[in-house]
Amino acid sequence: MTTPYTIPIVFGAVIVLAFLWSSARYKKISRARANRNIASFVEEFEGTSFSQDAIEAAYSDLIELTGFPVLRRDNVPKLGVLPEDFERVAGRRFSALGIADVMASRYKSFLPVWTSEDYVRLIDSVLRDRPPSHSGP
């Protein structure tokens, strides 16, 4: 027999179980990557044509989103990054690089971003197209 509270109780239990699973998964990933850092992420890209600035920028954004070190092959959505969170952080990055809307820019062909490497590639393309900054007279 069901009561008016059965559905909310079952729904609440599912939410709690999902939170516990997600929390345990997060802790497992964090422990497994305890020795990883920005230097090890940069090392993963040795031999590629990506600039160190692009690699470090992507790492900074991705670690802000995930809370733990990322790997080159990581699938960003599978790390639990919500699209709206990614859009917020990436939007801030590209706005600082002078691009108001990546989707309406010449870089839209680099979307969607699925992996850490995809994000590095996108940032690298934007950085390569920027005019060099001049320091000095």
Q: What is the pLDDT of residues 87-110, one digit of tens each?
A: 999 999 999 999 999 989 999 999
**What does the pLDDT read at residue 14?**
54
Q: Is residue 6's pLDDT more than 70?
A: no
Average pLDDT over residues 53-62: 98
**What does the pLDDT read at residue 130?**
84
| CA within 13 Å, CB half, 104 | 6
Domain locations in the chain as residue ranges? 1-32, 37-129
Query: What is the token pair recorded at 80?
Result: 């639990």
Q: Is residue 131's pLDDT more than 90?
A: no
In angstroms and rounded to an integer, the radius of gyration of the C-alpha atoms of the chain is 19
pLDDT band at 133 (very low <50, low <70, confident <90, very high): low
**What does the pLDDT read at residue 33?**
86
| pTM score, whole prediction | 0.77
Per residue in 26-38, pLDDT (tens digit) is 677 778 888 999 9
Alpha-carbon distance 32 to 34, whole Å?
A: 6
Query: What is the token pair recorded at 117?
Result: 């490497």
56 within 8 A of 42, measured Cβ to Cβ: yes
- 């509270």: which residue's tokens? 5
Helices vs strands, H then E, count in the chain = 5, 0
Alpha-carbon distance 101 to 51, whole Å?
A: 22
E strands of 22-110, at which residues? Answer: none
